[in-house]
Structures are given as structure tokens and as C-alpha cells.
Amino acid sequence: MTPDLPVPPVAENARRRIDLTKIGEGRYKATNARGGVVAIGSGGDPDFTPVELLLAAIAGCSGIDVDLITGKRARATSFEVTAEGDKIRDDQGNRLVGLRLTFDVQFPEGEDGDRAREALPRAIAQSRDRLCTVGRTVQVGGPIEYVEG
């Protein structure tokens, strides 16, 4: 269990929200405040499962960080991030362990590409240690309040 850490004051406009609506048997849609929609399924259809969405959120969050940092030096010629982990069930319940992000990023030849390649490890570390809200939330942990509306 992670020790309770002090929580800084919440900034104005810091609240994030999605609404989840059932759209079929074992199928749901998540809608954000901007009108974006993501289909979520229970695994018997092509929709992403909640666990897959968590992996996608971690990869997406860090991928955006790393791309923004390295992209100031050179635009990647190829950019892929693989997120994976093992789903287990133990005395703490269902959860993922062994979470891993693998970055496969290529840059063009030349001085700018060299600068981007040199910045890549630091960009990954910055995302892991400070920038990626999703990854930091998973790493630091914290309670989730479940309430009936």
C-alpha cells in the first residue's frame, strides 16, 4: 500500500469527466465533454475492454509526451509504443502487474535526428517520472470513491 501523500490544491478547470452509457449487451460508450466517443466492450466484440483502454491511456499519455519533447528536435519517421501487462487475481483482487511500455521510435538521418535520438531516453524518463498523468496516477495510486447517484 502506498503511503498517503500530500495533495496540492486543485487548480481551476482541473476536473476531468466522462459519461458511460450502456448501448448493448456487454457494450458501453464513453463520451467526453468535447463530444468524443469511445466504445467499450466486455471482450466478446472488437471494442476495447477497460483493461485495454487503461493500457492505451498509459501508452497514449506517454507517447504524446515523448513525441512533443523529441519532436522539437526532429519529427519521428516512425513512432510506435507497445503497452503490456499481466492480468492476475490474488488476495488483493483483479489487477495488472508487470506493466511495460516499449518505445520504438525512428528519426531521420542528420543532425536534427541525432538530437532527437539523444533526447529520447530523457523524454521517456520525464514522462514516466513526472509528466504522464495516467502513468503517474497508476504508479502513485490513490483511493477511488464509488458512490450511488
- pLDDT for residue 4: 66
pLDDT reading at 1 higher than 60: no
In this predicted model, what pLDDT tens digit does every residue of 40-55 receive, in sequence order? 999 999 999 999 999 9
In this predicted model, what pLDDT tens digit does every residue of 43-99 receive, in sequence order? 999 999 999 999 999 999 999 999 999 999 999 999 999 999 999 999 999 999 999
The answer to whether residues 64 and 79 touch, using CB atoms and an 8 Å cutoff, is no
130 shares a domain with 58: yes
In this predicted model, what pLDDT tens digit does every residue of 8-41 receive, in sequence order? 777 878 999 999 999 999 999 999 999 999 999 9
Buried b (16+ CB within 10 A) or exposed e, 42-77: eeeeebbbeeeebbbbbbebbbebbbebbeebbebe
Please report whether residue 145 resides in a domain.
no
What range does the domain containing 1 cover?
1-48
For residue 87, give the CATH number of its domain. 3.30.300.20
How many structural domains is the chain composed of?
A: 2
Q: Which of 31, 48, 65 is the last residue of a domain?
A: 48
58 shares a domain with 41: no
